[in-house]
Amino acid sequence: MHYLTIEQRESLQAALSARAEELRASIGNALDPTGEGKHSLTDHREDTDDDAVMDLESSMEVEALERHTMELRATEAALVRLHTPDYGECVDCGEDIPFVRLQASPMATRCTPCQTRHEHTHKSVGGARL
């Protein structure tokens, strides 16, 4: 049973499309901070002469870029799924994902109980990193 109305699907599509544009802009700015068509990350040598700080800043920048890229891929996949009959259906239990959850996270592929279970059984080994 898929309960999403046309209006609900349109609002989810608008949210996903807007987020995809934000992510593309953010990725583009990270890769070309000058806007001159040069693809490079920020050179932190101008900011500090401490190699450790420079490496940390570069590492954090690369990780942010990776997160944005992964989120963009998930957003684009959700835009494709949105037009399929199984969008809004939990991949684990097959139940409908509530619209309020999809509003909060239109990329969601699991209902809240299944997502909670998934997070508890698939905890990252490394934990939080600084």
Read off the pLDDT of residues 62-105 as tens digits, 9 standing for 90 and up. Answer: 888 999 999 999 999 999 999 999 999 999 999 999 999 999 99
Q: Is 90 in contact with 109 (CB distance < 8 Å)?
A: yes
Q: What is residue 61's predicted lDDT score, i.e. its pLDDT? A: 78
Q: Is 36 in contact with 130 (CB distance < 8 Å)?
A: no
pLDDT one-digit tens code per residue, 19-75: 999 999 999 888 876 666 555 555 555 555 566 666 666 677 788 899 999 999 999
Neighbours of 66 (CB within 10 A): 10
Compute the distance between CA of residue 23 and CA of residue 66 in angstroms, rounded to an integer: 11
Structure tokens at 109: 């592929």
Q: What is residue 19's predicted lDDT score, i.e. its pLDDT? A: 97
Average pLDDT of the chain, as a whole number:
84
Q: What is residue 2's predicted lDDT score, i.e. its pLDDT? A: 67
